[in-house]
Chains A and B, each alone.
Chain A
Amino acid sequence: MTATAPPRRAPEAGPSSGKSAAGRRLRPRIVERLRQGGLPYLLLLPAVLAELLIHIVPMFFGILISFKNLTLFYIHHWNSAPWAGFDNYKAAVKIHQPIGEALLHSFWVTLSYTLLSVALSWLLGSAAAILLQDKFRGRGLIRTLFLVPYALPAYAALITWTFMFQQDTGLVNHVLHDQLHLTSSKSFWLIGDNSFWAMVIVSVWKSWPFAFLALMAGLQNIPRELYEAAAMDGAGVWQQIRKITMPSLRPVNQVIVLVLFLWTFNDFNTPFVMFGQNPPHQADLISIHIYQSSFINWNFGSGSAMSVLLLLFLLVVTAIYLLVTSRGRSENDV
């Protein structure tokens, strides 16, 4: 990322430092040294403090309270909440009891949702980026329009989709039932099995422009000479896409698939805006599941234990993913 800068001179203590008796000179020298060597730390300090307060401390605090029996009763004096040991974790992983069973169900829903959404978003993003690689009339306009879902605030877009999925008044049923006559009656989209698919469609609509954006940038880095040479050798457009474009995009693909996976797996907005605090069973994504068990049932200990398990899962997946996808790539690729 930023490793390209030339090496910097080590901070110097000033010309006068070496010669005189140590005692009296020592203090100014240290101050001077601190001032020079400390400057980068000083520059970073505000950002570090903000990150500590909002991300790092809460994360460790979250791990701590996952071992506590923290209910609404203790919310104003959390440290007097009784210790629970591993009880919260045990409850979360006992898959034959209600809490564990619901969590496992939510996990599978989230995993299917994420895999489908990421795959489709990547597919659409790649297709659009590759098809817009060459100049033609209207290209700039199309590119701008494709970015609209990315620019819209998530909740505004989600509310619109919710309206489109309404049973009586929505566009989706109007097209499927009234215009195309594909369904025998107007189906429900926001409850039951359909709610899962409705959520996937909306998620793809929101995420694919990001893949498009990143891939478009990745395409800029492919040297034109490669295409010219291939064309001289008689390779057609399709062959060029297969033999040059796709392999060159590998590093970008590695990043965007991971980023999309993590975003989608942690997605809260989509179910929350579409279904409210009680999503249908088929659309019970893990973020909202944890939210519910924490803020609706007021059991922070249990909610935190689930969050920690979620974090561990994501860390393991990320590590495995990076190991597998980085294998066989030269080191300076990364």
Chain B
Amino acid sequence: MSRFTEQPSPMAQPKSFLWTRRVVLTLLLTFVLVPVYVMLSSSLKSLQDVQGSFKWIPHSLTFKPYVDIWKTIPLAHYFVNSVIVCVSATVFSVALAIFAAYGVSRYRFMGRKVFTVTVLSTQMFPGILFLLPLYLIFVNIGNSTGITLNGSRLGLIITYLTFSLPFSIWMLAGYFDSIPRDLDEAAKVDGCGPLGALFRVVVPAAVPGIVAVSVYAFMTAWGEVLFASVMTNESTRTLAVGLREYATQNDVYWNQVMAASIVVSLPVVAGFLLLQRYLVAGLTAGAVK
């Protein structure tokens, strides 16, 4: 897992290159940051301000939207739903990925290639293709066994854990490959079984990779809209669907929408930026291998 190494320039750069760099990077930064600025500044404006023509500089700052968001819609409830669903999906996804990646990385067996290719390709298929049948399967499982999957958190957890699973297996298998096999062999000589070697040697050595995979799994679940819009009901609704409720009122509370967007973004953006180094290295390891 190579981090991004700092490369000093091999030769002095001409003016044309430096100017191109300045101009292009400035334009790109503007493009990237304007929506972020709009989000932040509008979340601190009064309703009157956001209902008039847009102003770059707010007249006055108020934290009222951050108080109001919890009353306009049951945001706290949606937040709890999202946390339960996404944390569970992440934990299970990472656990399954650890076992599968260990199998793929440490053993040669029939069907290994088929497994990795099939699993990876499922991620490229249109979500809409699974959505309709999965919805029907969940409805019919509920009818015949009494296990409610449609509209329940459990159904969403199972669904979400598979979304990050393929990429997590791929990434972790790569990570495990970089851990010397001698370490597991030594553990086995000391009397550990294969699972003992996995948990005492491989997992501790792969912590950065596991962290990266966890963040990825959580981000994937936290941002999902399509399945959440169909498979949740009033009581299990997650943030991805719930946020739309500010916008379907007669009066759109844009300042509250922006404040709520910031509140729901904070956990993932903070996590991403804190663990950026692991994540960037991990996420890109596959692309260049």
Enumerate chain A interface residues (CB-CB to B < 8 A).
1-2, 4-8, 37, 39-44, 46-48, 50-51, 53-59, 61-62, 65, 70, 75-76, 78, 124, 127-128, 131-135, 142-157, 159-164, 166, 168-171, 173-174, 178, 205, 209, 213-214, 216-218, 220-221, 224, 227-228, 230-231, 236-238, 240, 251-252, 255-256, 259, 262, 265-266, 268-269, 272-273, 276, 287, 290-291, 294-295, 300, 303-304, 307-308, 310-311, 314, 318
Are A161 and B99 closer than 8 Å at their CB atoms?
no
Contact A156 B265 (CB under 8 A): yes
The minimal Cβ–Cβ distance linking A313 to chain B, given in whole angstroms, is: 10
Chain B window 37-54, contacts with chain A (Cβ cutoff 8 Å), 1 for yes, 0 for no? 011001000000011111
Q: Which residues of A contact B55 (CB under 8 A)?
A: 174
Contacts of B230 in A (CB 8 A): 295
Interface positions, chain B 1-21, Cβ under 8 Å from A, are 2, 4-11, 13-14, 16-17, 20-21
Which residue on B lies nearest to A266, using beta carbons? B126
B32 at the interface (CB under 8 A from A): yes
| Cβ B284 vs Cβ A294 within 8 A | no
Contact for B54 among A127, A169, A251, CB less than 8 A:
A169
Does any Cβ of A come within 8 Å of B243's Cβ?
Answer: yes
| Residue of A41, A134, A151, A230 touching B268 (CB-CB under 8 A) | A151
A213 & B284 in contact (Cβ 8 Å cutoff): yes
A67 CB to closest chain B CB, in angstroms? 13
CB-defined contacts of A151 to chain B, threshold 8 Å = 219, 268-269, 272-273
Whether the Cβ atoms of A255 and B36 lie closer than 8 Å is no
- Contact among A42, A218, A290 for B128, CB-based, below 8 A: A290
Measured between beta carbons, the chain B residues less than 8 angstroms from A265 are 126
In the complex, A1→B177 CA distance in Å? 10
Q: How far is the CA of A160 from the CA of B265 in the complex (A)?
A: 12
Beta-carbon contacts under 8 Å, B109-132 to A:
109, 112, 115-116, 118-119, 122, 124-132
Which one, B59-67, B69-77, B100-108, B204-212, is touching chain A? B100-108
Q: List 12 A-B contacts (CB under 8 A).
A: A2-B116, A46-B95, A51-B118, A54-B158, A57-B133, A59-B125, A62-B130, A148-B269, A156-B39, A174-B54, A217-B287, A268-B226
